[in-house]
Each structure stands twice: as structure tokens, then as C-alpha cells.
Structure 1
Amino acid sequence: MSIVRPYGDATGDGMVQLSFTLPVPHDKVADGAAVQLANKMGMDPALVVHSKPMGPDFTFFVVYGRVNHLVDTSTVEVVERDYPLLTPKEVNAAVKRSLRRRLVVVGGCIGTDAHTVGIDAILNIKGFAGEKGLEYYREIKVVNLGAQVSVPQLVERARAEKADAVLVSQVVTQRDAHLLNTREMSAAFREAYPPERRPLLVVGGPRFDETMAGELGVDRVFSRGTTPGEVASFLVHRIAPRAAA
């Protein structure tokens, strides 16, 4: 079945739950404003099931209600994994076979972003979701620059390390900072390198759209839930053929 409707209490009942914040004090008028907004978004009926003050002038809401919208899953566009998922042993063997040296990865958080949890989950040996990070891979050299790295610093370090890939994590999204920083980063690398020598550019974060790689000028976008094994497998998938050329 390609046509579906949201599920809440019973199949196909159209019930959904959403949360948002309004710049109004927490009172009954605020709850009414939240219901009005939900109605205008297509929820009818809509019920405020939770509201909480966020300081004196803002209120956070959770609203539950019914929508009549249908979803056609046959028209959904996603980025499917187009490479095999390898074990650490297979990644090491592939790197050793194709490069005959260690694969060099430089990573960090650019701009004013100080949230290193994402990049550390991929790079640090402790890893994420039960998987070891890239530092665990014998044939991968990891250079983790940490937080608040400027784009010029990133380019300079990538050149100094002769990086094969550059991994950037962006969590701060106010005013689309993650998109602006990524575009600045990709432009800087294209200016600093000839096309055939530019390292792979990979960005990740919970609010990236994986279909935007081309628009952002990077080779791959990873979103929430990405594991170190997925990243390592992608790097091997893209770098091994380049090394053989």
C-alpha cells in the first residue's frame, strides 16, 4: 500500500502529535493560540495535551489532533545506501589493498558550533550504537580537530595531513548556520584543491537533509542515527576506486 494516513489510537485515524513554542506568556489565551495554530495547520479537532512556560514570555506546547492528509510513499525521495556495509576487518583490508597506506581522515565542528558529540561518536574509539569509532580502524588515521574550527584552519590542516576525507559535524542550525557553514567549507576546498586531488567532503548532523549533498557542494550528507561503520564503508567505497584510477 503506497497511500497511508497517520496512526494514533486506531489504524488510519489520522491522529498526530506535534510540539512547538509561541512567544506568548503561559496562560489560557496561550493554549487557545496553540489550538488556533494547529487548526490552521490542518489539525481538527486539536487538543493541547501539555503546555509549559519557557521563561516569562514564551510557552512550549504539545498538541494532539486529527489531520485528513494522505501520504503517497511511492513519491518519497530518499538517499539509499549504494555501497556494501563492511566490518572493520573488511574496511582495513580494503584500505590496505587499494591505498597501500593508511587512509587519512580530518574531522571537526566548523564555525561557532561547539557540539562535538556527533563528530566524536564517529571518530573517537568509543564510537556509537555499539560500534567502535574510526580511531579503532587500524588502517585509518584520524585527526579530530574538535569544536569551533574555522574553515581556513580546516583546509590548512587537511592539506598538512594530506587528508583523503574531511568529516564535518554541524548541530547548531539557527538561521541555517549549518547550511551556510557547509557551503563556505565546500567552496574553500574547491578553491584550494584541483578537482582530482580534493579530499572527500562529508557532513553530518541531525537536521541535515541527505538529498542536499549536490546543493551543498559535498560528496555525502549523513543525518541522525549514522554509525561509524556506515561512514567507514562509504569512505572505502569512494576512495578505493579513486586510488585505482
Structure 2
Amino acid sequence: MTTTAGTTAGTGLVRPYGDTTGDGMVQVSFTLPLPHDKVAEGAAAQLAQKMGMDPALVVHAKAVGEGFTFFVVYGRVHHLVDPSTVEVVERDYPLLTPKEANAAVKEGLRRRLVVVGACIGTDAHTVGIDAICNIKGFAGEKGLEYYRELKVVNLGAQVSVPELVARAQEEAADAVLVSQVVTQRDAHLHNVRETVAAFREAWPDETRPLLVAGGPRFDETMAGELGVDRVFSRGTTPGEVASFLVHRLVTARRGATVGQAS
């Protein structure tokens, strides 16, 4: 759904913005298992109306293979949204430059921080894990391989959970990054839960690597539910991941040690 919000004066509530402020106009796209004809377009309009769009106008329809049609529908909704009730995961650590991250690791660990990354299960899409790990990076930022105080082991795609556990043990990993792009039938959630269970079985709590899950279909609020230490969703940059790793594995632990010593 593509929208731009307009504020309803005096209430703090917002509704979508299309042509004029607060007009409630939205655009949605979906595919129906119907051949492209007038009946299919009528079915698309009916679905949009049942979703709360009134009026609903089919502005685009195209056959996408035998027996399937892709639609774009434009119309008005009457729902209001209260931003004050929205739950999000705020970044609770500072963003560091590569130089700052390297200096923190060198001073705090006195060794390289070991990161193992993989795209697990049958998922063959390495775009996510490569964007974070590979030196070419993403969004104008260098990947984790660029950080001289990080040892990065990118296992690539279609890595089984036992393989990931074994390699993490072999490398004495401080952190494990699990990427999932293919998400049919919530495969990404199942695979991450399987990974968490395997790591809990293989390590005591106090020595287990930091577990981080990432991918475009993850909800960042699900870290606790999945059992991982952090979830990163779409648009995450290598700098954000590096800063989080340094915060949790170096800065926070040093602070806890100082507090205990005092």
C-alpha cells in the first residue's frame, strides 16, 4: 500500500493523503488467481471494496502467467491512524564510523571481533547478507569486511543450521548474522527459530554468540519472540549493524565489567 499521511486538525490522528490533505486516497496492488478479463477486474474492485476502499478504481490490470492477473487499485479509505499508539524499535546505541568502531574493538577486546554470516535454509538469495558483509556494502557504506578489527566469514546461501553452528564454533564467533529473503509460508520465522534452538543447545547462555536476524519481511519488534538479540529489517546499512555489534559486544560489556568492579 502506498500512502502519504495528512494530519486531522486538533486530534493527532492521521489519514492517507492522495490528491488533497486528508482525502484518504490510497493505492494497493495484488494478484488474483483469475485470467485477465472483465470478471477479474470486477473481482479486484470487489476485493478492494471489502478492504474498505470506497470508491475503488482499478487503474491497472495485467496478466502475469496463465490464470493470474496483477492489479493496481486506487480509492478512498475512511480509517484514521493514531501515531501515538505505534510501537517501534528505536536505535539505542550510537552510530559509529568505521574508524570509531575499529578503535572501540581494538581497545575493548584486544583482538578482532569475529562475525559469521549466512543465508540459511533453501534461500539462495545472498543480496541481504552480501550488502552487510561484503566490502562493497550498501547505500554508500562499506560492508563489515572493510572494518580491519572485524573478521568476517560470509558463508553465502543455502547454509544448513548444523553447518552454521559448526562454522560458528570453529571460528569462535562473537556474532552470527542470519539473513532470510525468501519468506513463503513464514519460512524465515521457522528457520530463525530453528537456528536459535540449535545455538542454545550448542552453547551455554554466557558464551553463546550474539544472534542477529535480518531480511525485508522481518518485524523489528519480534526479536524477543524469535529468541534473537536483534532483528534488522529493510533498509539496514552495514554501519548500523557494525555499531550494534560494537555496542553489545564491546561497549555494553565493558560498562558492565566496570560497574561490577566498582
Tell me which interval the TM-score lies in, with the shorter structure as reference length.
over 0.9
Extract unaligned runs of 5+ from structure 2. 1-6, 258-262
Q: Where in structure 2 are the equivalents of 1:75-94 lying within 5 Å?
A: 75-94=85-104
Q: 2:19 aligns with which of 9, 18, 40?
A: 9
Task: Select the structure with the greater relative contact order (CA < 8 A; seq sep ≥ 6).
Answer: 1
TM-score under structure 2 length normalisation: 0.92
Does residue 222 (structure 1) correspond to residue 239 (structure 2)? The answer is no
Which of 203, 208, 233 is residue 193 of structure 1 equivalent to?
203
The number of residues matched between the two structures is 245
Counting aligned pairs with the same residue, the percent is 84
Residue 180 of structure 1 pairs with residue 179 of structure 2? no
Distance 2:245 2:57 in 1: 47
Structure 1, gaps ≥5 residues long: none
Q: Report SS of the residue matched to 2:140.
A: coil
The letter for the 2-side match of 1:62 is V
Matched, 1:133 2:133: no
Q: Distance in 2 between matches of 1:4 and 1:175?
A: 32
Structure 1 segment 11-30 matched on structure 2, within 5 A: 11-30=21-40
In structure 2, the partner of 1:150 is 160
The equivalent position to 2:126 in structure 1, one of 116, 123, 126, is 116
Q: Following the alignment from structure 1 to structure 2, what is the Cα–Cα distance between the partners of residues 242 and 60?
A: 51
Q: Which string of whole-angstrom CA distances, capped at 9 and with x for unpartnered residues, describes residues 15-70 of structure 1? A: 00010011111101000000000000000000011011111211110000000000
Choose which of 166, 171, 180 in structure 1 pairs with 2:176: 166
Query: How many Å separate the matches in 1 of 2:179 and 2:154?
Result: 11
- AA in 1 matched with 2:199: F
State the secondary structure of the residue aligned to 1:5.
strand
Amino acid at match of 2:253: R
**Matching of residue 32 in structure 1 with residue 42 in structure 2:** yes
Structure 2 CA distance, aligned partners of 1:59 and 1:9? 27
Task: Assess if the C-alpha contact under 8 Å between 1:26 and 1:56 holds in 2.
Answer: no
Assess if the C-alpha contact under 8 Å between 1:52 and 1:61 holds in 2. yes
Output the CA distance in 2 between the equivalents of 1:222 and 1:237. Answer: 15
SS at match of 1:71: coil
- What is the rounded CA distance, in whole Å, between the counterparts of 1:13 and 1:103 in structure 2? 52
Q: Does 1:204 align with 2:222?
A: no
Q: Distance in 2 between matches of 1:150 and 1:53?
A: 37
Q: CA deviation at 1:242?
A: 3.0
Tell me, in whole angstroms, the C-alpha distance in 2 between the residues paired with 1:155 and 1:242.
Answer: 24
The answer to whether the Cα contact below 8 Å between 1:106 and 1:145 also exists between their aligned partners in 2 is yes
Offset, 1:141 = 0.3
